[in-house]
Chains A and B, each alone.
Chain A
């Protein structure tokens, strides 16, 4: 990396990104005002902004954001814990992994969306069915990464720790878990994203609260402005979650060397 030119390059990039955004929004607004786009189907940025502002002003949107956040968080936590647990069990017990290998493959290959109605049936319209749905998405990503992470641990590294006096529990805590964590963290964006997808899609299919419900509701009323406003709130939400994940990742992976690709650029 050529230091010095980096901040300028970054500012240039940010400015270009902002310009693209402004241009697109302006084009949309103008096209809609000139009736090139039918406002009934396409709404317009100013109306969308106004709606979003009203939602926040009246406070009615907060409960939806809260519910979606809660579902996302729970799906992520439960899916990750299960994934780490089962991933470890499989990696440390070849017998277990041989027996269950075909089941895991089939379960992972199945389009999970078909489960959503069943979960609604089992767990009702509340947050539980959304969490369960999100868990089925998150679980496999974390599971595969944990399994890989544990299997990839270098034999010499393990032997070195053993020679230094590590018990099996020490190995788990100081070598195997951190090693798996590297892999799990590398998929953190994906798994958090999937937890969110699970929550929103679940809400969309049947619920009384949440950002997915908000969008679905507007859609049912042919309220295009409402749909776009819901999408804007969702996009903002995703952005915030992603920033949070990035900062957690940066903190936990601070020991990592910068990737060679980044260095070469």
Chain B
């Protein structure tokens, strides 16, 4: 395994980033504007904001899938050009290849890196076991539950040993129990691997329970970070127990005061 980058260095830095889209009626919609954000190496940052404010767009900027119209994206100090090779991206949508088994899906990143098949297969099995899917190696995606598919996608992302892990509302579609299990699994793996994580969610409780720092994005158009809240709850955490901590409730109230205003604003402005 690669040595984690020295703590304290800046893994991701956005400076004055702006990104707009063409609207169907020929106009221009500015989704993000004047976005400044820093994520330190090894840090777990949660990004919250009202639906449609530009959270996925921000992740796409960091992933290098979208270029900013203005501003800079830096990854470990160098300007980002094209795809971010030091990051992996857990998408909100189901993106497993339906014609590949769980194992083949997980080993995909290694196949692209020209790792010999047998070695790739061995590592894929090990990762499937780590995300709790031992015995499901030969299932096709349609033979797995939604939660299991997310686990496969998580293993698919982690097997390439990325320094930065981008996650876009990965657990939003799961039922509460599955979700809490997966959140705990994610924390356990993060504790072992110390990846830099940028985790998008619209669920504030999830954001606090998982992260070191919660960043609140304003409502669009021209969304940008409007608040940052360090989360100094003890680690290792259990997401169900940490919610009972009085400090959790206190933090929740403080962040919610800010977030509620943005959510209401987004609701009034409409999509």
Binding site for B on A (CB under 8 A): 154, 156-157, 159-167, 170, 174-175, 178, 182, 255-257
Contacts of B91 in A (CB 8 A): 156, 159-160
Query: What are 30 contact pairs spanning A and B, CB under 8 A?
Result: A156-B91, A157-B97, A159-B63, A159-B65, A160-B91, A160-B95, A161-B112, A162-B65, A162-B83, A163-B63, A163-B65, A163-B88, A164-B88, A164-B109, A164-B112, A164-B156, A164-B160, A165-B109, A166-B112, A167-B112, A170-B112, A174-B97, A174-B108, A182-B99, A255-B100, A255-B140, A255-B142, A256-B98, A256-B142, A257-B140
B98 touches A255 (CB 8 A): yes
CA distance A175 to B108 in the complex (A): 11
A257 touches B142 (CB 8 A): yes
B191 within 8 A of A: no
B112 touches A163 (CB 8 A): no
17 A-B pairs besides A159-B95, A164-B160, A165-B113 with CB distance below 8 A are A157-B97, A159-B63, A160-B95, A161-B108, A162-B83, A163-B87, A163-B89, A164-B156, A165-B109, A166-B112, A167-B112, A170-B112, A174-B97, A255-B99, A255-B142, A256-B98, A256-B142
CA distance A159 to B153 in the complex (A): 13
Contacts of A162 in B (CB 8 A): 65, 83
A157 touches B95 (CB 8 A): yes
A164 touches B97 (CB 8 A): no
B93 touches A165 (CB 8 A): no
CA distance A163 to B63 in the complex (A): 8
User: Quick one: closest B residue to A170, CB to CB?
Assistant: B112
CA distance A164 to B111 in the complex (A): 10
User: Quick one: closest A residue to B143, CB to CB?
Assistant: A257
A165 touches B85 (CB 8 A): yes
A160 in complex: contacting residue of B87, B89, B143, CB < 8 Å: B89
CA distance A195 to B269 in the complex (A): 58
A154 touches B85 (CB 8 A): no
A178 touches B87 (CB 8 A): no
CA distance A156 to B85 in the complex (A): 17
Q: Please name the 4 residue pairs, one residue from A and one from B, whose CB atoms are nearest each other, closest first.
A: A257-B142, A160-B95, A165-B112, A164-B109
Contacts of B140 in A (CB 8 A): 255, 257
Contacts of A154 in B (CB 8 A): 93, 95
Contacts of B101 in A (CB 8 A): 255
CA distance A170 to B99 in the complex (A): 15
User: Quick one: closest B residue to A161, CB to CB?
Assistant: B108
Contacts of A256 in B (CB 8 A): 98, 142
Chain B residues 83-121 with CB under 8 Å of chain A are: 83-85, 87-89, 91, 93, 95, 97-101, 108-109, 111-113
CA distance A174 to B105 in the complex (A): 10
Total contacts A to B, CB within 8 angstroms? 61
Binding site for A on B (CB under 8 A): 63, 65, 83-85, 87-89, 91, 93, 95, 97-101, 108-109, 111-113, 140, 142-143, 156-157, 160
B100 touches A156 (CB 8 A): no
Contacts of B88 in A (CB 8 A): 163-164
A159 touches B89 (CB 8 A): yes
CA distance A165 to B63 in the complex (A): 12
Give A159 Cβ to nearest chain B Cβ, in Å. 6
B65 touches A165 (CB 8 A): no
Give A47 Cβ to nearest chain B Cβ, in Å. 51
Contacts of A175 in B (CB 8 A): 97
B99 in complex: contacting residue of A156, A161, A167, A178, CB < 8 Å: A178
Give A245 Cβ to nearest chain B Cβ, in Å. 19
User: Quick one: closest B residue to A158, CB to CB?
Assistant: B95
User: Quick one: closest B residue to A252, CB to CB?
Assistant: B99
CA distance A165 to B160 in the complex (A): 9
Give A181 Cβ to nearest chain B Cβ, in Å. 8
CA distance A152 to B121 in the complex (A): 29
CA distance A163 to B157 in the complex (A): 9
Contacts of B97 in A (CB 8 A): 157, 174-175, 178
Give A87 Cβ to nearest chain B Cβ, in Å. 18
CA distance A71 to B160 in the complex (A): 48
CA distance A170 to B108 in the complex (A): 10
CA distance A165 to B93 in the complex (A): 19
Contacts of A174 in B (CB 8 A): 97, 108, 111
Contacts of A170 in B (CB 8 A): 111-112
